[in-house]
Amino acid sequence: MNLQRKTYNYDLIPAITVDPFWLLGFIEGEGTFGFKNLSPYFQIGQHIKNSMVIEAISSYLQSLPKTFTFTQHSKISQIHNTINSRTSVLVISIIDIDALYDYLMLFLLNMPFQTRKAEDFYFWSLVLHFHKLGYFYLAEGRKLAYKISVYANKGRYSTNPNRTVLRSCAPSLSEINKVLDLKLPVTLEAAEEMLHTDLAKAFARVLKQQTIWVYDKGVLLNPDGEKPFTSFRSAMEAIGYSKSSIAARRSIDTGKIIGGRYTFYSKPL
pLDDT tens, per residue, the chain with 269 residues: 666 777 767 677 778 899 999 999 999 999 999 999 999 999 999 988 888 899 999 999 999 999 998 888 888 878 999 998 888 899 999 999 999 999 999 999 999 999 989 999 999 999 999 999 999 999 999 999 999 998 886 655 555 566 555 566 788 999 999 999 999 999 998 766 788 999 999 998 998 877 899 999 999 987 666 788 888 999 999 899 999 999 999 999 999 999 999 999 998 88
Q: Which fold has domain 13-180?
A: Endonuclease I-creI (3.10.28)
Task: Note the pLDDT of residue 196.
Answer: 92
Task: Note the pLDDT of residue 257.
Answer: 93
Gyration radius of the chain over CA positions: 21
- 197 burial (CB, 10 Å; 0-12 / 13-18 / 19+) is exposed
Domain assignments of the chain as residue spans, ordered by start: 13-180, 209-265
Task: Work out whether strand 39-47 and strand 80-84 pair parallel, antiparallel, or are unpaired.
Answer: unpaired
Task: Note the pLDDT of residue 222.
Answer: 77
d(CA 92, CA 71): 25
Task: Note the pLDDT of residue 157.
Answer: 56
Task: Note the pLDDT of residue 155.
Answer: 57
Task: Note the pLDDT of residue 1.
Answer: 64
Task: Note the pLDDT of residue 9.
Answer: 73
All residues at 6 or more sequence positions from 18 whose CB lies less than 8 Å from its CB, including other chains = 56, 57, 59, 60
d(CA 263, CA 246): 13
Asked if 229 contacts 235 with a C-beta cutoff of 8 angstroms, the reply is yes
Closest CA to 57 of 83, 36, 79, 33: 79
Asked if 134 contacts 188 with a C-beta cutoff of 8 angstroms, the reply is yes
